[in-house]
Chains A and B, each alone.
Chain A
Amino acid sequence: MRNRSILIISLPLLIATLLVVMSLSITLGSASVDWQTVWRVIFSKITVINQWVEPDWADTTETIVWDLRMPRVIQGAIVGSALALAGAIYQGVLRNPLADPFILGVSSGASFGAALVFALGWQIMWLGQFTLPVVAFLFGFGSLMLVYFLARVGNKVRMETIILAGVVVQAFIGACLSLVMALANEQLQTIVFWMMGSLSLTEWSYNYVVFPIIAIIAIISLFFARELNMLSLGEEIAHHSGVSVSRTRFYLLILASVMTGAAVSVSGAIGFVGLVVPHIVRLIVGADYRLILPLSIIGGAIFLVGADTFARTILAPREIPLGVVTAFLGAPFFAYLLRRAKREYF
């Protein structure tokens, strides 16, 4: 079948590209490391394989590769995958090409939570360095729930209403956020920097927590591709085909939002990935979610790792906010594809 052959060809290609981009990203920076060393350091950390690797590099090289750049590149891949997949799901569920992972207020909520943590200098004891991501996640999830229940009439949620509810909640939380920012003098810069998204605060420990959450949700989401296809044909058609429409939508919104929340909580609200990557995938392979979902996962990872490499190298030693780079790279590329596309694709 056509779909399967597209996946068989494109998935290994994209995964290979991702590995190349990731290792390239690790080689670049204030101290450059050649890529053989990069891979040998990585192999030396893996049991069984490490017996064939002779460590002949300086300790500082190992620190740079393994403790500084590796976690960051991996987090870029995880966050990029999560945002792109969440974007694809939101676009499918809401049947709206403008939907992105932040449309239902997850990012505003998370930003507000993060701003509070920065401004008040909160450090919840037993959470330690996880205070920021946990608070951001909970606030993000809370605002999604607020949007969902605002939009609910009886036990039905109309997709137009939920988008409007998202706008309302975002406006309100946006105001709260501005208030916190206006009152927080010294912390303002940190808050602004966080809101524009960055991977510079990465630690391995974040990845250990975020990766399993996002991986599990991503795998579950892949099984919903069929339902997303049917929802795209129309709500009634989906119902007549046996899809429990409101329940399926609820599950999908929860899955996508938890994923978004987890991603945003460690990296800030990085815009444009979730909007652009699924669209690029769609323009290339068509409207079938059985292709869009898996390809968006890898595409998002490549896109974000690439963007982050730009962000930290192009004006080195200064770092540009990642959100700025994603929009800078994403918007023109998207515009180009959009002009080139011959027919409606959404």
Chain B
Amino acid sequence: MLTISNVYKHLERKQLLNEVSFNVGNGRCVGLIGPNGAGKSTLVKLISGLEEPSGGTIKIMGKDIRQWSVKKLAQKVSVLTQDGLSPYPISVFDAVLMGRYPHLSFFQREGKRDIQRVEEVLEFTGLADFRDQMLDTLSGGERQRVAIAKAMVQEPELLLLDEPTTYLDIGYQMNVLNLVKDWQERESLTVLMVLHDLNLAAQYCDELILMDEGSIVKRGTSEEVISAQMLKEVYHASPEIVRHPKLNIPQILL
């Protein structure tokens, strides 16, 4: 699905990303973790075409993304950012409908099928009752849910999440990630998510990629990646590692 080969990025003298290579298989959910400045967000920006790599290639479904227009890329990739949608006075329905944009030509208006898709997604995400509310009257968590609905309507093959839970309370953190998980399972979507919270990463991802100083340090299951030695090395911290009583995965206590 996603193949990254020897991708690097520097900004003037500063090396943001050293030659990074990895791939993500179809329908997988992979978590990107690592300390601040590890290059996780840079990587997401490169894959979403917001910035261009200084070298290397990024392929989605076997195609180099540089060959695609912004619109074409948006047909394949949806992105959920930590800021989500701005609190702009536009209705939930209209905001979600914007997700259809990459599938429409410049002069084409939204048709029946597009509207129907929006209705379905509003139903699925539990936003049906909010449809006429303006974004600026919603809470951050609700807006993030609208952002997910918009991303779903986009019908992507790959979903990128850049710390989508940063500003949310624990209720909404679970809510947002559960929604993504349901969606992924229903449509065998491929997901790559940057998460700061290692506990959430261990719970929601099939696999974790640990980054530090612009390089990949380790890739594997949460079991393999979250260890006392790794936390010490990369985060310079020594929290307690315990087992989740129900899920049997490593969780950390600060």
Q: CB within 8 Å of B: which residues of A? A: 2-3, 223, 226, 229-230, 232-234, 236-237, 239-245, 286-288, 343-345
Nearest A residue to B162 via CB reads A236
A241 touches B49 (CB 8 A): no
B86 touches A240 (CB 8 A): no
Shortest CB–CB separation between residue B153 and chain A, in angstroms? 10
In the assembly, what is the distance between CA of A243 and CA of B79, in Å? 13
Known contacts A239-B49, A239-B70, A242-B70: A2-B91 contact under CB 8 Å = yes
In the assembly, what is the distance between CA of A2 and CA of B95, in Å? 14
A236 touches B81 (CB 8 A): yes
The interface residues of chain A lying within 8 Å CB-to-CB of B70 are 239, 242-245
A237 touches B85 (CB 8 A): yes
7 more A-B residue pairs beyond the given contacts A241-B98, A243-B71, A287-B88, with a C-beta to C-beta distance below 8 A: A229-B90, A233-B85, A234-B83, A234-B85, A240-B50, A242-B70, A242-B71
Known contacts A233-B86, A237-B85: A242-B106 contact under CB 8 Å = no
Shortest CB–CB separation between residue B128 and chain A, in angstroms? 16
The interface residues of chain A lying within 8 Å CB-to-CB of B81 are 236-237, 240
The interface residues of chain A lying within 8 Å CB-to-CB of B136 are 343-344
- Count of residues in B whose CB is under 8 Å from the partner chain: 33
In the assembly, what is the distance between CA of A287 and CA of B89, in Å? 6
Known contacts A223-B106, A226-B98, A230-B101: A240-B74 contact under CB 8 Å = yes
The interface residues of chain A lying within 8 Å CB-to-CB of B90 are 229, 232-233, 286-288
Shortest CB–CB separation between residue B90 and chain A, in angstroms? 6
* Cβ-defined partner of B78 (8 Å) among A230, A240, A245: A240
The interface residues of chain B lying within 8 Å CB-to-CB of A344 are 89, 136
Shortest CB–CB separation between residue B234 and chain A, in angstroms? 28
The interface residues of chain A lying within 8 Å CB-to-CB of B50 are 236, 239-240
The interface residues of chain B lying within 8 Å CB-to-CB of A240 are 48, 50, 74, 77-79, 81
The interface residues of chain A lying within 8 Å CB-to-CB of B74 are 240-242
B107 touches A244 (CB 8 A): no
The 10 sampled A-B contact pairs (Cβ below 8 Å) are A2-B132, A226-B98, A226-B101, A232-B86, A232-B88, A236-B79, A237-B81, A240-B74, A240-B78, A288-B94
